[in-house]
Structure 1
Amino acid sequence: MPWHQITLTTPRDHAEALEDTLLELGAVSVTLKDAADVPVLEPLPGETPLWPEVEVVGLFEETVDTAQVDQALSTRGIQGGAWDWIEDQDWERAWMDQFQPLRFGQRLWIVPSWIEAPDAQAVNILLDPGLAFGTGTHPTTALCLEWLDGAELQGKTVLDYGCGSGILAIAALKLGALEAWGIDIDPQALTATRDNAARNGIEAHRLHTGLPGTLPKDARFDVLLANILMGPLIELAPTLTEHVKPGGALVLSGLLAEQAEGVMAAYAAAFDFDPPALKDGWARLTARRR
């Protein structure tokens, strides 16, 4: 069955109200998209992140009277919707086709579970898109995975602070780390981390998960990764510093290139930093604890 699709652009503050309006007028689904290529980072629990300008796309059945929808929108002061005719398709297949295996460095691949790994001898992580942040598609995650691929992790202990999907902790373990902790403020992320670890054959005793308060205060790690946000990275600097062994590695990301200097300053008393690694305007910081 073909479909009618309407696309409207609206400021962030009006997007959710417009979504509700389209659903009220008979839309079978509504999608919110970035209207101006503005990045949105990992939200805090309970937040709904939106861009300054939002494309609101409503999908209607072919029998809808588009003129009637336009009139109903107009009476509510909403103008300028553009209609398109969408041929029917296998929507699940179309969604799955968006995701392909991704390679990071020389050894590491992230592979959706429904696709055969391109290199069976590589270090392959089975990971499907889900609710928790971190599937390898964002530049900050990619930068961290590339660092892990080139690091000497054999027998090391790793802390993934703000673990999201668990992708960094799982990658470290599959690349030779002895033990890892995945810490997050969102219980849903911890569930995703445990599920993804089990799917990848990670033994439960090698990966510990928990809220920040469950991490022992005297725990020290060879490698600490935190792919979160600039504000929390600065705020958490004393805490994260204490969890890195002398000589241990610190890997920070989740920040824009212009934010790197401020984050480095928060850790400068205890760490010697390498030059920032940059990708598509995002930054990764690496350092050694003195």
Structure 2
Amino acid sequence: MNYIELQLTVSPDYTDILTAELAELGYESFVETDEGLNAYITEDDFAETPVGEIVTKYADQTAIAYTFSSLEKRNWNAEWERDYEPIEVADQVRVRASFHSLDARFRYDIVINPKMSFGTGHHETTAMMLQQQLSLDFVEKTVLDVGSGTGILAILAAKMGARSALAFDIEEWAVENARENAQLNDCRQVSVFQGTIADVDPTHRFEIILANINRNVLLAEIPTYVQLLTPGGHLLVSGFYEHDAPDIEQKAHETNLITKDRLVKNQWTCLSFL
């Protein structure tokens, strides 16, 4: 079956909301790019008119344009196996696919097999979140992973001793993938559901919350994260550029959080709050 690749040129602030809009149209997978967002759908399910309507909907809020093309049928597993290289974080974490051999030099070995061929989670923000996690004590802690994707952050939390790690994502394929990856890593503490922060039981409390999403979502949801945090709990956030960090910090400080640490890589930023 052939796929259509839709290429959107848009600000990174809008990639999450456009992902949600396109998912409603049946797009199956997404990749954030330097220009914006690529989305993929089978040729049989593709229609240009609904895409144009979405672009028009946001055109008065941000510069946005799109192109699309047909992808020839190919062995997607072979494609990502060829391109997927393990990542190493702070000499302690190694993230690999199941076809890579184990490297015993690393304390934490994480196996991630992306469900879709179009993304492996090797973004700067992911690496920084993993690095920040290494500075925390997860032993017997309760953890919430917001917008979990492949489940990689929840899996590291479990490997670091978390008592439980609740993860969620809006995408059905991401939820399935996170569950599969948790099973691959024998992380029974990890549970995953499809939904948003609004679907998390407001009576639950978490000692560590991980949120690798984007600026707009973080600004809207940080007060909710704080309500779900135990006193003295930690909040780790990423998914935004360095120039957006002051806005994120201000929102966190308004909820009485204190900045503990920050990492910057290729203009992307990760912040840790207490």
Under a length normalisation based on structure 2, what TM-score does the superposition of the two structures give? 0.71
Is it true that 1:284 corresponds to 2:270 in the alignment?
Answer: yes
How do residues 179-194 of structure 1 correspond to structure 2 at under 5 angstroms? 179-194=164-179
How do residues 79-228 of structure 1 correspond to structure 2 at under 5 angstroms? 93=78, 95-119=80-104, 122-131=107-116, 135-203=120-188, 206-212=190-196, 213-228=198-213
Asked if 2 retains the 8 angstrom alpha-carbon contact of 1:237 and 1:266, the reply is yes
Large movers: runs of 4+ above 6 Å: 28-35, 48-51
Bigger CA radius of gyration: 1
Give the C-alpha shift of residue 46 in structure 1.
3.7
Distance 1:162 1:240 in 2: 13
Distance 2:195 2:143 in 1: 16
Match for 2:250 among 265, 277, 282? 265
Distance 2:232 2:37 in 1: 46
Q: Which amino acid aligns with 1:287?
A: F
Distance 1:133 1:263 in 2: 29
Q: Which runs of 5 or more residues in structure 2 are unaligned?
A: 23-29, 39-74
Q: Which amino acid aligns with 1:220?
A: R
Identity %: 27
Kindly provide the CA deviation profile for residues 214-243 of structure 1, in whole angstroms up to 9, marking residues without a partner as x: 421011111101000100100112211101
Distance 1:53 1:44 in 2: 11
Q: Which amino acid aligns with 2:262?
A: P
Distance 2:147 2:117 in 1: 10
Asked if 2 retains the 8 angstrom alpha-carbon contact of 1:110 and 1:136, the reply is no
Give the 3-state SS of the residue equivalent to 1:180 in structure 2.
strand
Q: 1:32 to 1:267 in 2, by over 3 A?
A: same
Distance 1:208 1:92 in 2: 24
Map of 1:8 onto structure 2: none
Under a length normalisation based on structure 1, what TM-score does the superposition of the two structures give? 0.67
Give the 3-state SS of the residue equivalent to 2:162 in structure 1.
coil
Asked if 2 retains the 8 angstrom alpha-carbon contact of 1:134 and 1:164, the reply is no
Q: Which amino acid aligns with 2:19?
A: L
Map of 1:45 onto structure 2: 20
Q: 1:31 to 1:115 in 2, by over 3 A?
A: same
**Structural RMSD (CA):** 3.2
Q: Which runs of 5 or more residues in structure 1 are unaligned?
A: 1-27, 56-89
